A and B are shown apart, each in its own frame.
Chain A
């Protein structure tokens, strides 16, 4: 029994967090659009998105990257890990954050805030930590918009995005 439990825990640590490929594809499809609807950049020719994940999530990050390139040929992507994020994502306009411990996410958000970068996370629960964008997956897909920190970031969003988004403020949906 102990052996089985140890095997499961080991495999979990090896395989990282659980992702749905369909949701990953959806995020990859919408991330550039949301980026363009922000004040960070409007020029699709020079957009750059940094995909940040744990070491165990390289596969899903690759999937995200491939889907994004499939949809948008001109967008530059950078795959990075949280430990190398500050050096590898310095030129990117957006940080797409896959799941990670809250301390790491908070640190990443702080980095983004200081460098005037847009943040979007796979999981919406990170919006409480200051991530600006996520997706609400329900009967319809809607962006989550975290406006309070975005004001502190000095980042604004287009009115059309505001009109179609759900507002996030302190866990309220």
Chain B
């Protein structure tokens, strides 16, 4: 414990400073007031002296009694030590009497002047000037300064004495603090507190702290045992948790792998559910989904939609002549050609039946659909040879049934599909390798050109 940080020391400093400042402030105020009072008092005294001597001096000057004036002034200067200068001047400006004491500081002289008047006719007969030293004021200031110096010295001495007294008073407490600071509750042989008999209060505190520390030591030992047990249990549990975590981690990894496999399988299943196994283009089921989606958009926005159904002409002959493998190869290549013909992601081609394909053309008029059909026909005719095993097959053609319609609220997808199917039927009956365009509510075909 540092004595200089104690509350008593701070209070002592504050009180000492307060007393010193208060004393200096009061002293300063008192000195100012005293100076004023003394100055007034001195001024009155000077006036009284001047008024006392003035009648006599006037009489002496009026009657040319200069010797008597000289004697009077000499006596006056001798009896009044604060008279520094005397100057007597007649009406013509002639100096009748002059007296000056040896003064170091001429600024401290107060001058009092009076005009001399003839006692008989009141005429101006001269001027009397007296210079007074302000003895009383200077003496009072000296005494005040001396008193302040003495008082501050006493305050300083008392402060030092009180500091030593505080050191003496706080010595047992400092010993107690050092002892408490050096006390180790785990040490069995702590140093005993050494206090004198006079330190009654400090001894009581010391013994109380000793008992408290003993209890703390006892509880610390118990706590150490508990902590040791807890540490062991924590270690055991930590090991178990580590093992469980490892198992969980393995299981998590296994599940992640399984989940990935499942996701892949699902993706494959989705693809398989949407794709035709032979041609790898969309199957009929996925075509239906897509058609309904596109149909609804066209219905909502009054956009034209075209459905083209294609069918390989005389495909049974190919199968019968070259076998089913060749037939499948032809189907695959035709499907690829149709798929390549569609450029927009909104359009779709799907395998509709054995040798039937269907195309959904979003936002497509009948003319645009015909242009696409013509392009497909041209590509098909430009195939001179299919790949093996269908390399010997020639003259493969397609018949096309086209139905274009802007869906209305009451229209259905099936009606549109039936329309395209009817157009295909017409194209087939008209001699194959041709297309027929039909609108949903038309009774006659638009045209059935022959290629």
Residues of A within 8 A of B (CB): 147-148, 151, 156, 159, 162-163, 167, 169, 172
Give which listed residue, A151, A163, A169, A172, contacts B65 with CB less than 8 A. Answer: A151
Give which listed residue, B53, B60, B120, contacts A169 with CB less than 8 A. Answer: B120
A167-B119 CB under 8 A given contacts A147-B59, A159-B56, A162-B55:
yes
Indicate with 1 or 0, residue by residue over B33-71, a CB within 8 angstroms of chain A CB atoms.
000000000000000000011011001100111011000
Q: Tell me the smallest distance from the CB of A130 to a CB of chain B, in Å.
A: 15
- Looking across the interface, which residue of chain A has its beta carbon closest to that of B72? A159
Looking at A148, A159, A172, which has the most chain B CB atoms within 10 Å of its CB? Answer: A159
With A and B bound together, what is the CA distance between A84 and B259 in angstroms? 173
With A and B bound together, what is the CA distance between A148 and B68 in angstroms? 14
With A and B bound together, what is the CA distance between A27 and B65 in angstroms? 27
With A and B bound together, what is the CA distance between A81 and B267 in angstroms? 177
- Looking across the interface, which residue of chain A has its beta carbon closest to that of B53? A159
B55 touches A172 (CB 8 A): no
Q: Which residues of B contact A159 (CB under 8 A)?
A: 53, 56, 68, 72
A162-B64 CB under 8 A given contacts A167-B119, A172-B120:
no
Q: Which residues of B contact A162 (CB under 8 A)?
A: 55-56, 59-60
Q: Which residues of A contact B64 (CB under 8 A)?
A: 151
With A and B bound together, what is the CA distance between A172 and B120 in angstroms? 8
Residues of B within 8 A of A (CB): 52-53, 55-56, 59-60, 63-65, 67-68, 72, 119-120
B68 touches A156 (CB 8 A): yes
Q: Tell me the smallest distance from the CB of B396 to a CB of chain A, in Å.
A: 168
Q: Tell me the smallest distance from the CB of A60 to a CB of chain B, in Å.
A: 32
Give which listed residue, A163, A169, A172, contacts B56 with CB less than 8 A. Answer: A163
B59 touches A156 (CB 8 A): no
> What's the count of A-B pairs with C-beta under 8 Å?
26
- Looking across the interface, which residue of chain B has its beta carbon closest to that of A150? B63
Q: Is the interface of A mostly helix, strand, loop or mixed?
A: helix
- Looking across the interface, which residue of chain A has its beta carbon closest to that of B58? A162
Could you pull out 6 A-B pairs where Cβ atoms are within 8 angstroms?
A147-B63, A159-B72, A162-B56, A162-B59, A163-B52, A163-B55
With A and B bound together, what is the CA distance between A156 and B65 in angstroms? 9
Q: Which 9 pairs of residues, A with B, have the shortest CB-CB distance?
A: A159-B56, A147-B63, A162-B59, A162-B56, A163-B55, A159-B72, A156-B68, A163-B56, A167-B119
Q: Which residues of B contact A156 (CB under 8 A)?
A: 65, 67-68
Q: Which residues of B contact A147 (CB under 8 A)?
A: 59, 63, 65
- Looking across the interface, which residue of chain B has its beta carbon closest to that of A159? B56
Given contacts A151-B63, A159-B53, A163-B55, 7 further A-B contacts (CB under 8 A): A156-B67, A159-B56, A159-B68, A162-B56, A162-B59, A169-B120, A172-B120
With A and B bound together, what is the CA distance between A120 and B63 in angstroms? 20
- Looking across the interface, which residue of chain A has its beta carbon closest to that of B69? A159
Q: Which residues of B contact A151 (CB under 8 A)?
A: 63-65
Q: Which residues of A contact B56 (CB under 8 A)?
A: 159, 162-163
Q: Which residues of A contact B72 (CB under 8 A)?
A: 159
With A and B bound together, what is the CA distance between A163 and B63 in angstroms? 14
With A and B bound together, what is the CA distance between A143 and B68 in angstroms? 19
With A and B bound together, what is the CA distance between A159 and B65 in angstroms? 11
Q: Which residues of A contact B55 (CB under 8 A)?
A: 162-163
With A and B bound together, what is the CA distance between A172 and B119 in angstroms? 11
Q: Tell me the smallest distance from the CB of A162 to a CB of chain B, in Å.
A: 5
Q: Which residues of B contact A169 (CB under 8 A)?
A: 120
- Looking across the interface, which residue of chain A has its beta carbon closest to that of B76? A159
Q: Tell me the smallest distance from the CB of A34 to a CB of chain B, in Å.
A: 16
Q: Which residues of A contact B52 (CB under 8 A)?
A: 163
With A and B bound together, what is the CA distance between A149 and B359 in angstroms? 169
B65 touches A167 (CB 8 A): no
With A and B bound together, what is the CA distance between A167 and B122 in angstroms? 13
Q: Tell me the smallest distance from the CB of A46 to a CB of chain B, in Å.
A: 23
With A and B bound together, what is the CA distance between A148 and B67 in angstroms? 15
B120 touches A148 (CB 8 A): no
With A and B bound together, what is the CA distance between A151 and B63 in angstroms? 8
With A and B bound together, what is the CA distance between A151 and B60 in angstroms? 11
